Amino acid sequence: MNMTRLNRTVTILNVLAFLSLLVSIGFIFLYAPIERSMGNVQRIFYFHVGTAWVGSIAFFVALVAGALYLWRPQRRWDTIALSSVEVGLVFLTVTTAAGSVWGKPAWNTWWEWSPRLTLITIAWLVYAAYFMLRGAIEDEEKRGRFAAVYVIVSFVSIILAYVSIRIWRDIHPVVFGGTLESAQGAEQGLQDIAPGLASMRMGITLTVNVVSFSLIYLAWLMNRIRLQMLKDEVTTLKMRVAARLQGG
Amino acid sequence: MARPKSATSSFWTAVWSIVWKDLRIEQHTRQTMSVMLMFSLVVVVMFNFALSTDLDAARQVSTGLLWATIILAGTLGLNRSLSIERENQTIDALLIAPVDRRGIYLAKVISVTIFTLLLEVALVFIFTIFFNKPFWQPAALLVLFLGTIGYVAAGVLITSMTIQTRSREVLLPILLLPIVLPLILPAAIATAEIVSLQPQMDTVNSSISLIAAYDLAILAVGFFSYPFLVES
Across the 232 residues of chain B, what is the mean pLDDT of every consecutive 10-residue run? 66 90 88 90 83 70 88 92 83 83 92 94 90 85 94 94 86 92 89 84 86 93 92 70
The residues, any chain, with a CB within 8 Å of residue A30's CB and separated by 6 or more, are none
CB within 8 Å of chain B, chain A residues 69-88:
70
> Contact B158/A150, CB-based, under 8 Å?
yes
> Contact B157/A149, CB-based, under 8 Å?
yes
pLDDT confidence of residue A188 = 40
> Measured between CB atoms, does A157 come within 8 Å of chain B?
yes
How many degrees, rounded to 5, is the angle at CA B120 between CA B37 and CA B103?
95
How far B222 CA sits from the closest chain A CA (Å)?
A: 8
Please state the domain extents for chain B: 11-229
In this prediction the ipTM stands at 0.88
Share of chain A above pLDDT 90, in %: 42
pLDDT confidence of residue A176 = 53
Residue among B174, B214, B228 whose CB faces A149 most closely: B228
Residue among B154, B182, B228 whose CB faces A161 most closely: B182
> Measured between CB atoms, does B214 come within 8 Å of chain A?
yes
Amino acid making up residue B95: L
> Contact A146/B210, CB-based, under 8 Å?
no
Global confidence as pTM: 0.86
> What is the DSSP-derived secondary structure letter of residue A33?
P
> Contact A150/B165, CB-based, under 8 Å?
no
Supply the mean pLDDT for chain A: 83
In this prediction, residue A180 has a pLDDT band, given cuts at 50, 70 and 90, of: very low
- pLDDT tens for A65-122 read 999 999 998 889 999 999 999 999 999 999 989 888 888 887 888 888 877 788 888 8
Residues belonging to chain A = 248
- pLDDT tens for B132-186 read 888 888 888 999 999 999 999 999 999 999 998 887 788 999 999 999 998 998 8
> Measured between CB atoms, does A164 come within 8 Å of chain B?
yes
